[in-house]
């Protein structure tokens, strides 16, 4: 459920007409709904009710500081994967003890920054990284809290580019080697080994892969405890999928996911962390774009939009489907026709949808890409020298630009021509 609905024939973001925002900021742009963000965060928080827990929003999904502050003020922790993300979270006042540091390649500089600024735990992904964290911690005279990410060799049944829990993926240590790696970690001077971490992939639309992974983690917890480790925290990752089409079979609800967590690991008495990104932000954001031209091609019509693959890369990168709806609600019974919906970037991959049934549109009409709040703005680029598009946050009847569109000069002037040229 989200807060982007038609009212009297016009698409609204909460209580603000989308067309009004477009008139103010120009197109294309992203718009987020505060109420939807908070609702989704709260669903997860409530799903873990009764267990000691922290929902650490995976801020890679959408990392604008206004979004982070919205969630952090509601009590969310943050899952970060880079120094930039760590500093962004700190910039909006998220305390270090609510920040979890994930990612396969943490550098010495990142480790030092997090240890100095405060960190809840590092989710360690390899033995060399574990040794590096111990070294940096020892040099700073501190002890680093860690979990070790295990790779449970479970098929997440999602797109290959976003599956992470199979043994051929680069993530975590093989679960079969966990005992030996935990033994080494416990012996390192700069580490406090507090738990286990697992994350098997993104956009999971079934609970079974989670169940398989979490059961393996439960078993490992008992084994490691028997080996003498004080396992007291489980980070169960993110990955719960969202409906991208309304006709889609509905993915499991956060409450069902919470029940599964309770069933698989609830008996262990561990503190539970989860790292949802997509489900919090995905359906809390739209990308709004305008039709530049309607072009009649050989046997097909193209809708050429002012938004492109550099602004929303998911269709080009993952063959991802986003519902695209007109900002002016079509009159009931209006006939639809097929369009290829494309952007102006100079490659055929810049195609959002092929033969998508839409009611007729003309130059200047606005369309909204649904489900664009997660992995939308954060994955955008300036390809074709197209400036990053603005982000807008709506709350009730208020809206604000939370990242403005840079000027062409700002973009161009970042380059430097060497003196010798
Ligand atoms: N934790 C870890 C360690 C992760 O790697 C990820 C996502 C998450 C949590 C959050 O997963 P979520 O709840 O959002 O599924 N760009 C791709 C998705 C990449 C996901 C990467 N890792 C897309 O647009 O589909």
Say which CATH number the domain at 168 has.
3.20.20.10
Say which residue the tokens 């603000």 belong to: 16
User: 201 and 302 share a domain?
Assistant: no
Same domain, 15 and 140: no
Q: Are 144 and 244 within one domain?
A: yes
Quick one: 241 and 292 in the same domain?
no
- CA–chain centroid gap for 172, Å, is 19
- 316 in a domain, yes or no? yes
**Domain co-membership, 266 together with 398:** no
Q: Is the alpha carbon torsion for 323, 324, 329, 330 positive or negative? A: negative
Residues 116, 255, single domain; the answer is: yes
- Regarding whether 324 and 186 lie in a shared domain, the answer is no
Q: What is the pLDDT of residue 396?
A: 98
Residue of 86, 47, 35 lying closest to 253 (CA atoms): 47
| Distance from Cα 203 to the centre of ligand 1, integer Å | 8
Token representation of residue 64: 């604008």
Q: In this predicted structure, what is the pLDDT of residue 248?
A: 59
Q: How many helices (H) does the chain have, and how many strands (E)?
A: 12, 21
Of the chain, the percentage scoring pLDDT greater than 90 comes to 93
Q: What CA–CA distance (Å, rounded) separates 335 from 81?
A: 47
Ligand 1 closest atom vs CA 278: 14
| Residue of 57, 58, 123, 309 best suited for mutating to test ligand 1, as the one with most atoms within 8 Å of CB | 58
- Are residues 135 and 260 located together in one domain of the fold? yes
Helix axes 127-140, 178-187, angle to 10 degrees: 10
Is 84 inside a domain boundary?
A: no
What value does the mean pLDDT take over residues 152-158? 90
What range defines the domain where residue 323 resides? 4-31+282-412
Average of per-residue pLDDT across 223-231: 98
Domain assignment present for residue 194? The answer is yes
pLDDT, residue 249, reads 66
Q: What angle do CA 56, 60, 65 make, to 5 degrees?
A: 80
Same domain for 270 and 302, yes or no, is: no
Whether 182 has a pLDDT exceeding 90, the answer reads yes
Residue 346 falls in the annotated catalytic set: yes
- pLDDT at residue 93 is higher than 90: yes
**Residue 61 domain-assigned (yes or no):** no
pTM value is: 0.97
Q: Which of 274, 294, 318 is the last residue of a domain?
A: 274
Residue 92 in domain: no
Answer whether residue 254 is part of any domain.
yes
Comparing 18-22, 80-84, 169-173, 191-195, the range with the smallest average pLDDT is 169-173
Sheet holding 10-13: strands in order across? Answer: 4-7, 10-13, 16-17
Residue whose CA is at the smallest distance from ligand 1 atom 19: 162
Task: Select from 216, 239, 274 the last residue of a domain.
Answer: 274
CATH of the domain at 289: 2.40.37.10
Atom of ligand 1 nearest to the CA of 197: 3
Number of domains in the chain: 2
Same domain for 249 and 173: yes
Quickly state the pLDDT bin for 161 (edges 50, 70, 90): confident
If 0-12 CB within 10 Å is exposed, 13-18 middle and 19+ buried, where does residue 415 land? exposed
Which residue lies with its CA nearest to atom 23 of ligand 1?
375
The yes-or-no verdict on residue 286 having pLDDT over 70 is yes
Select from 217, 128, 230, 120 the least CA-distant residue to 175. Answer: 217
Whether omega before 28 lies within 30 degrees of 0, making that bond cis, reads: yes
Q: Could you report the per-residue pLDDT of 337-367, keeping only the tens digit for each?
A: 999 999 999 999 999 999 999 999 999 999 9
What's the average model confidence in pLDDT over 198-206? 96
Same domain, 200 and 233: yes
pLDDT at 71 over 80: yes
Give the active site residue among 346, 362, 417, 421. 346
Q: For residue 393, give the H/E element and its range.
A: strand 391-395
Same domain, 263 and 287: no
Is residue 221 situated within a structural domain?
A: yes
Could you say which of 246, 274, 302 is where a domain stops?
274
Q: Tell me what the mean pLDDT of segment 43-51 comes to.
A: 98
CA of 352 to the centre of ligand 1 (A): 21
Q: Is residue 97 part of a domain?
A: no
| pLDDT exceeds 80 at position 246 | no
Mean pLDDT, residues 229-248: 92
- Gap from CA of 318 to ligand 1 centroid (Å): 13
Closest by CA position to 66, among listed 100, 30, 103: 30
Q: Which atom of ligand 1 is nearest to the CA of 374?
A: 24
- pLDDT surpassing 70 at residue 279: yes
C-alpha–C-alpha distance, residues 202 and 240, integer Å? 7
């Amino acid at each position: 459920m989200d807060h982007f609905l038609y009212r009297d024939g016009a698409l609204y973001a909460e209580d603000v007409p989308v067309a009004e925002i477009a008139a103010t900021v120009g197109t294309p742009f992203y718009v987020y709904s505060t109420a939807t963000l908070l609702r989704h965060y709260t669903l997860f928080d409530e799903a873990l009710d009764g267990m000691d827990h922290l929902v650490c929003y995976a801020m890679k999904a959408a990392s604008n500081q206004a979004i982070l502050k919205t969630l952090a003020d509601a009590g969310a922790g943050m899952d970060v994967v880079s120094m930039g993300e760590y500093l962004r979270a700190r910039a909006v006042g998220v305390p270090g003890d609510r920040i979890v540091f994930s990612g396969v390649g943490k550098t010495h500089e990142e480790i030092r920054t997090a240890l100095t600024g405060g960190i809840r735990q590092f989710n360690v992904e390899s033995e060399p990284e574990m040794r590096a964290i111990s070294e940096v911690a020892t040099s700073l005279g501190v002890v680093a809290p860690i979990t070790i990410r295990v790779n449970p060799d479970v098929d997440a049944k999602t797109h290959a580019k976003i599956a992470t829990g199979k043994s051929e993926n680069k993530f975590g240590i093989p679960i079969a080697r966990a005992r030996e790696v935990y033994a080494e970690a416990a012996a390192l001077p700069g580490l406090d080994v507090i738990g286990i971490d697992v994350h098997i992939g993104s956009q999971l639309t079934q609970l079974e892969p989670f169940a398989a992974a979490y059961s393996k983690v439960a078993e490992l917890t008992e084994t490691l405890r028997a080996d003498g480790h004080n396992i007291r925290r489980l980070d169960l990752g993110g990955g719960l999928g969202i409906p991208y089409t309304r006709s889609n079979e509905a993915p499991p609800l956060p409450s069902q996911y919470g029940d599964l967590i309770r069933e698989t690991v609830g008996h262990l008495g561990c503190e539970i962390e989860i790292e949802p990104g997509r489900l919090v932000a995905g359906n809390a954001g739209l990308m709004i774009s305008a039709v530049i031209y309607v072009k009649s091609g050989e046997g097909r019509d193209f809708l050429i939009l002012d938004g492109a693959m550099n602004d929303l890369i998911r269709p080009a990168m993952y063959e991802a489907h986003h519902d695209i709806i007109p900002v002016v609600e079509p009159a009931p019974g209006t006939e639809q026709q097929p369009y290829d919906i494309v952007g102006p970037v100079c490659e055929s991959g810049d195609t959002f949808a092929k033969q998508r049934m839409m009611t007729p549109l003309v130059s200047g009409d606005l369309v909204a890409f649904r489900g664009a709040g997660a992995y939308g703005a954060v994955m955008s680029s300036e390809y074709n020298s197209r400036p990053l598009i603005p982000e807008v946050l709506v709350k009730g009847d208020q809206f604000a630009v939370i990242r403005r569109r840079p000027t062409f000069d700002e973009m161009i002037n970042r380059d430097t021509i060497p003196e010798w040229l």
